[in-house]
Homo-oligomer: A and B are copies of this chain.
Amino acid sequence: MKIAVLGTGSAGRALAGRLAELGHTVSLGTRDPDVTRARPEHTDLPGVRLATFADAASGAEVVVNATNGAATLDVLAAVGEENLAGTVLVDVANPLDFSAGFPPSLSVKDTDSLGEQVQRAFPVARVVKSLNTMNAALMVHPERIGGGDHTVFVAGDDADAKAVVTGLLTELGHTDVLDLGGLSAARGTEMLLPLWLRIMQALGTAEFQIKVVR
């Protein structure tokens, strides 16, 4: 599958690298590839093509938004509506607002969500909210804790798009994919973040996950 991952932070790099290992054709989108390559911490990921946001997404069947929430709408504008038409747009971002320090507040919540904002801004895309409730390492290697027995959520208004995402999650090793229904359920998964951050502080690690026991 031809996949574009937007954002070169820990989530974007983890997803791009692992999806390429799994055999997908992966482009990693960034604002300016030359600037990204010039960063001291930058290393190329095997099999991943670094490109501008628009170039990365051009022709992709799946676009993964792994940018930070504050940048998301600007980045998708840089991708361009023409490159998002018909794509499965996996939104893994969270609307964290660090303007008042840590812990962050949420810039959108309760009666709206970042996932819904993205869908309204780009109705041509088929947005699926997923993977925003765990750290980057567990997104791509869920077996790192608890034998992989924990839960990943999907929410979206397009059932076919959710099936594509569920397939990719299964490839990544996720064994408990819980479909929460329409995209408005992104309000719920994004609002987990304040609790997630408190748990991280209490445990002293981001290597934990949520399991829905039933």
Say whether A191 faces chain B, with CB atoms less than 8 Å apart: yes
Residues of B with C-beta under 8 A to A181 = 198, 201-202
Say whether A213 faces chain B, with CB atoms less than 8 Å apart: yes
Q: Which of A105, A210, A213 has the most CB of B within 10 A?
A: A213
Say whether A180 faces chain B, with CB atoms less than 8 Å apart: yes
In the complex, the answer to whether A212 meets B199 with C-beta atoms within 8 Å is yes
Say whether A179 faces chain B, with CB atoms less than 8 Å apart: yes
A105 to B110, CA, bound (A): 6
Say whether A145 faces chain B, with CB atoms less than 8 Å apart: yes
A interface residue count range (under 10 / 10 to 19 / 20 to 34 / 35 or more): 35 or more
In the complex, the answer to whether B201 meets A212 with C-beta atoms within 8 Å is no
Q: How many copies make up the complex? A: 2
A150 to B203, CA, bound (A): 16
In the complex, the answer to whether A145 meets B213 with C-beta atoms within 8 Å is yes
Residues of B with C-beta under 8 A to A150 = 211, 213
Q: Which of B109, B146, B195, B210 has a CB less than 8 Å from the CB of A188?
A: B195
Nearest residue in B to A147 (C-beta to C-beta)?
Answer: B213
Interface of A is mostly: mixed
Closest chain-B Cβ to A206's Cβ sits at a distance in Å of 10
A185 to B195, CA, bound (A): 7
Nearest residue in B to A211 (C-beta to C-beta)?
Answer: B211
A207 to B214, CA, bound (A): 7
Q: Which of B110, B146, B197 has a CB less than 8 Å from the CB of A106?
A: B110
Closest 10 CB pairs of A and B: A188-B195, A146-B213, A208-B214, A211-B211, A188-B194, A188-B198, A185-B198, A191-B191, A150-B213, A180-B198
Beyond A185-B198, A187-B194, A208-B213, list 17 extra A-B contacts (CB 8 Å). A109-B109, A109-B191, A145-B213, A150-B211, A153-B195, A178-B199, A180-B199, A180-B202, A188-B198, A188-B199, A189-B195, A199-B212, A203-B214, A208-B212, A209-B213, A210-B211, A211-B212
